[in-house]
Chains A and B, each alone.
Chain A
Amino acid sequence: MKTRLLALSLIIVLLIAAGCSNTNLNNSDNAGEELKEKDWSDITELAEGSKVRIFMWGGDEGINRYMDEWVAPNLKEAHNIELERVPMDTNEILQKLSTEKRANKEEGTIDIIWINGENFKNAKEFELLYGPFSEKLPNYQNYVDTESLDVQYDFGTEVEGLEAPWGKVQFVFQYDEEKIPTPPANFEELKDWIKENPGKFTYPDANDFTGNAFLRHVLYDAVGGPEKLLENGYDEKVLANHADALWSYLREIQPSLWRNGETYPATLTDLDRLYSQGEVWMTMGYNEARAESLIKDGIFPESTKSFVLDSGSIGNTHFLAIPFNSPNKAGAMVAIDFLMSPDAQLAKYESTYWGENMALDPTKLPEDAQEKLANMDRGASVLSPEKLSESLLPEVDAEYVNWLKEHWVNEVVQKQ
């Protein structure tokens, strides 16, 4: 009896010990290096019949439907690759990767991540990404304007082939036309409108992606345009000179915000909920066509329209990358190339699913795709391409994002 007990304990202890330790003896690193030398046709062959896991933000129904209903079946048909979408916030994905890196785990579970901005900066600095690979992709070579700054730089960080462009989005405000006949045209008018309609406007917390983008708009306005912020990368001096204008604007509107500015929605999803329930009359988002699918699903009222301020709207490119320890790098490259194909990009452009702008250069597209693009109706809530492109503003260094996160609570929320 006692020996049996002893044996049992021993087995359990051994099992635990095995679980605690990390013994990984494989050579996926070498395989990754070899892959860089291979021809594209060999890579496609390698990817055939494999499974690719894409980890991406899952907070938007339209995006999720695009991935599940359009991309997955078509990718299966074109390359016999099975696509599994795992919803996870990007910063948590990076956390997982950095833990795996520290534990020397050479074979992870993630093949593709959707990444952008400060997350890319962190990932690049901590060497969490595989690459350079984007130059190898045929669709990147053929259809992307590889010279343009928004493909070469991601929030001021040089891309260096570590990520491939996937889409472009622009920041717009959404409002209910029945409640607001003429939306404000600039920040001054927005302020007046907020004061005349107390409680009907708010913006998400500075830690939220969208909330931070709104704050950057106010910052641009306070500085007098993004040029000053772009000149020398992150510049403390510019901030020192103009921060007061930024904070005083925000403090001035605060008492007239939703709940008197005592609290802010933690995420864009919360703001959307407030808008859909009619508690606030405006919402916003980093995608000029995002309202379409929400209107279609009955979440937003039919009378939802969008607008941009005269001072412009920030736009940026977002990317796809492969983690350093992806178990299926060949499959990941083929899947990313597929996601950048004109067909996939056009389906993404359609407002039925996602409705966001293409990462490809429209002038480089084949003729039939160009025709399709010209005939596409993006929906009544989406602004015209001319209006959007004339108001496009560039994104600035990711350090400004952090600076806003750090100071917003102290300067605005606490001071009321």
Chain B
Amino acid sequence: MKWFKSNNWSLALLPAFLFTFCLVVYGLFMAAQESVTTLNGFSLDAYKNIFDNEAFLESLTYSLRIAFVSTVLSLVLGLLLTKFLFETLNNHLARTVVWLPMLFPHFVWGYMMILLFSQTGWFSTMLHAMSIIDSPDQFPVLTNDRYGIGIILTYTLKEIPFVVLMLLPVYAQLNRDLPNVVMTLGGNKWHVFKTVEWPWLFPVLMEAGLIVFAFILAAFEVPYLLGTTYPKMVSVLAYEWFYQGDWSKRPESFAVMMTVTAIIFGLLIILLSLVSRSRYRMMKGNGM
């Protein structure tokens, strides 16, 4: 019982741990199992097939590109918003306005994009009515487009408030005297940002970035609504293979999702090593 006495916090964690285990690990295990099970027993054919499949490879690069661009955009815009509006955001009303997009489900937001930005959408009709464009066809293709502009736009707008939510506490806890120290020593605003704010922001930004990236990479509803016929984002492709008529592509569908999981897991490990190094440096006090 001595172990329990010194580690009773671990007991309190047990339910949470079991919950995660039951749902996530078990689900992951089942998916992995399904991806290597065929009618003839164990086989890695599903993985071989998908990496030989051009449709999958294009879909993977397409998804990675969309996830990367949306993540970077929402991080940068979220950071700028927090940095310059930090004082205003102390106000409840201002904060509500910024966080408003979080209230809408992604699907509703995606549908709104279609109503606003499609070629017969609100903006196009308005421009047409004002005779800026001659016909609705001249309005740029922003939804169901080849480059995923609609998807990127949707996710960027949706994730900025999340980034702000993550960054606000950092700014709230920053030492207000440190900028003055930098200024006294002859530094400018850039130096303040680089030496005072960045070391605190970096780990939080990275964490927020990973969450957003993982979310977008594996997202389904918005790409289904706003994506193109080819290439499709990975989740849409996996869904399609999963529900295909004779159910024979199911192992491949699971293999696709396992690949996505592996990518996210790999990024998580890279991120942890990066952040822990920066935290270590912060502790040492040279702040770079």
Main secondary structure of the interface of A (DSSP, over half): helix
Complex CA distance for A91 and B243, rounded to whole angstroms: 7
A263 to B142, CA, bound (A): 12
Chain B: CB-nearest residue to A10: B14
Whether A409 contacts B55 by the Cβ 8 Å rule is yes
Q: A9 CA to B228 CA in the complex, in Å? A: 48
Residues of B within 8 A of A91 (CB): 243
- Cα–Cα distance between A210 and B136 once the two chains are bound (Å): 27
Q: How large is the interface on A (under 10, 10 to 19, 20 to 34, 35 or more residues)?
A: 35 or more
Question: Would you call A402 an interface residue if the criterion is a C-beta within 8 Å of the partner chain's C-beta atoms?
Answer: yes
Complex Cα gap A122–B248 (Å): 11
Partner of B22, one of A16, A92, A121, A406: A16
Chain A minimum-CB-distance residue to B240: A207
Note all chain B residues with C-beta closer than 8 A to A266.
Answer: 224-225, 227, 229
Chain A, Cβ-Cβ closest to B146: A262
Q: Is the CB of B247 within 8 A of A5?
A: no
Assembled-state Cα–Cα distance A52/B200 (Å): 59
**Nearest CB on B from A359, distance (A):** 24
Answer yes or no: B230 CB below 8 A from chain A CBs: yes
> Across the interface, which residues of A come within 8 angstroms of B145, CB to CB?
262-263
Q: Are B229 and A413 in contact (CB under 8 A)?
A: yes
Q: Mark B102-121, 1 if CB is under 8 A from A, else 0.
A: 00000000000000001110
Contacts of B144 in A (CB 8 A): 259, 263
Count of A-B residue pairs with CB < 8 Å:
80
Scan residues 217-233 of chain B and give those whose CB is less than 8 A from a CB of chain A: 224-225, 227-230
Chain B residues near A6 (CB-CB < 8 A): 11
CB A256 to nearest CB in B, in angstroms, measures 13
Contacts of B229 in A (CB 8 A): 205, 262-264, 266, 409, 413
Name the A residues within 8 Å of B137 (CB-CB). 199
Q: Give A276-289 as 1s and 0s: 1 = Cβ < 8 Å from B's Cβ atoms.
A: 01110000000000
User: Which bucket holds chain B's interface residue count?
Assistant: 20 to 34
Asked whether, in the complex, the Cβ of B245 is within 8 Å of the Cβ of A5, the reply is no
Asked if residues B120 and A278 are in contact (CB atoms below 8 Å), the reply is yes
**Contact, CB under 8 Å: B245 / A398:** yes
Known contacts A9-B14, A205-B229, A413-B229; A263 and B146 CB within 8 A of each other = yes
Q: Does B246 sit at the interface, judged by CB under 8 A?
A: yes
Contact partner of A9 among B12, B119, B120, B141, CB < 8 A? B12
Give the residue name and chain of the A residue nearest to B143 (CB). A263
Is the pair A122, B247 in contact by a Cβ cutoff of 8 Å?
yes
| Nearest chain A residue, comparing its CB with the CB of B136 | A279
Contact B243 A118 (CB under 8 A): no
Q: How far is the CA of A402 from the CA of B118 in the complex (A)?
A: 32
Q: Which residues of B are found within 8 Å of A95, using beta-carbon distances? A: 243
A362–B135 Cα distance when bound, in Å, is 50
Enumerate B232-264 residues with CB–CB distance to A below 8 Å: 240, 243-247
List 8 contacting pairs A-B, 8 Å CB cutoff, sorted by A: A16-B22, A207-B240, A262-B228, A263-B144, A399-B246, A402-B244, A409-B55, A414-B230
